[in-house]
Amino acid sequence: MAVTAQMVKELREMTGAGMMDCKKALVETDGDMDKSVEVLREKGLSKAAKKAGRVAAMGLVKAAFAEDGRAAAIVEVNSETDFVAKNDEFIAFVEGLAKLALESDAADMDSFMALPFSDGTVAETLTNKIAKIGENMNIRRFIKLNEEGVKYAGYIHNNGQIGVIVGLATDADIADLQACGKDVAMQVASMNPKFLDDTEVDQDWLEEEKKIAREQLLNEGKKEELLDRIIPGKVNALLKEVCLVEQKFVKDADMTVKQYVDSVAAGIGKDITIKTMIRYEVGEGIEKKEEDFAAEVAAQLNK
C-alpha cells in the first residue's frame, strides 16, 4: 500500500513521533495505522505517544528579527502547563524555532517540521522534548515576513504570552523605527484590533455588525425609518475601535495610531505606513482544560 503524506501527518498527530519515524512505521506495516502506532511504541516512543492526546493550551510565543529589520518570524509552541512554559529548556527550544523560521523558507507546517534542527528534524526534536520534559507539546503555528520595502519590529508581552510583529513600509533605517515599531506593536498587543484599516474589514463581519446594530436600535424603541440614518454613525464609531490605524493611541489618547506614526515620519523625514500586523496569543481558540492550581501541582509531582 502506498504511504501518503496525509497518512504520515495523521500518524504524527496521533503519536507525536517524528515525521520520518512515522513514514518508516507505515511502510513497515503496509499502511496499517494501528500497527504503526504499536511499532512506534515498541521503538521507544511510547512515552511521547501516550501524551499526544492531552490538551496543550499553555506555552510561549517568541519572535526573531533580521538585524536590518527586513525580515521577521514568530512562532507559538504549546505545552500542557505553565510550569513547562517557564522551563529554561522549553524557552530555548521556542526561541530556537523562531530563529529557524526566520532563517528558513518553510512555507507550511509540514515543511517546517521536516527541517534539520537539534536532535534531527524539528519533528524529531519535538518528540524528544515531549519524552524528556514529560508533557505533550505542539508547534501550533508560525509565520515568516519579508515583504519588499517593509521593515519589521515587535513586542513580546508577559514573557511570551502575547507576541506581535508589525511591518512598516518605509525607506527609513530600522534603528530609526524601533521605538515607533515597538509602540505600535504594544498597541496591537493591548487593544487587539481586528483589522489594520477599513480596507481590510471583512464584509461578512461588517454586515453582521449592522444587523446587530439594527436589532439593538429597534429594541431601544427607535423607529424603523430612522435606522438608515443612525446605523452609519454607529458603524463608523465601531470601525475606529477595531481598525488599528484609527484607534486612539494608548500612550497619547489625543491622537490616533496613524497620527502618531505620521508624527514619527515627519521627525525623521521619511514616509512610514503600517503595512502588516501579526498578533499571536498563547492558546487562543484552544479549549482549555479547567484545573485548579493545587491539582496542577499534584499532577506535576505525580509524573
Specify the pLDDT at position 45: 55
Backbone angles phi, psi at 208, to 5 degrees: -65, -40
Alpha-carbon gap, residue 258 to 264, rounded angstroms: 10
Specify the pLDDT at position 5: 86
Count other C-beta atoms under 10 Å from residue 290's C-beta. 6
- The mean per-residue pLDDT over the stretch 245-251 comes to 96
Specify the pLDDT at position 270: 97
Residue 97 cell numbers, joined? 524555532
pLDDT(44) > 70: no
Alpha-carbon gap, residue 303 to 57, rounded angstroms: 19
Q: How confident is the model at residue 300 (pLDDT cuts 50, 70, 90)?
A: very low
Strand partners, 243: 195
Residue 23, helix vs strand vs coil: helix
pLDDT(48) > 80: no
Q: How confident is the model at residue 136 (pLDDT cuts 50, 70, 90)?
A: confident
Backbone angles phi, psi at 148, to 5 degrees: -60, 135
pTM: 0.77
Alpha-carbon gap, residue 277 to 275, rounded angstroms: 7
Return the half-sphere exposure (C-beta side, CA atoms, 13 A cut-off) of residue 94.
30
Catalogue all structural domains in the chain, each as residue range(s) with its CATH number.
5-51 (1.10.8.10), 58-163+279-301 (3.30.479.20)
140-172 burial string, b = 16+ CB within 10 Å, else e? bebebbeeeebbbbbbbbeebbbbbbbbbebeb
Strand partners, 138: 78
Specify the pLDDT at position 301: 47
* Residue at 274: amino acid letter: I
- What is the distance of C-alpha 296 from the center of its chain? 25
Count other C-beta atoms under 10 Å from residue 52's C-beta. 20
Which residue would you say has higher pLDDT here, 100 or 290? 100
pLDDT(119) > 50: yes
Q: Return the sign of the alpha-carbon dihedral for residues 140, 85, 72, 126.
A: negative
Lay out the sheet containing 58-65: strands in order across.
58-65, 72-79, 137-145
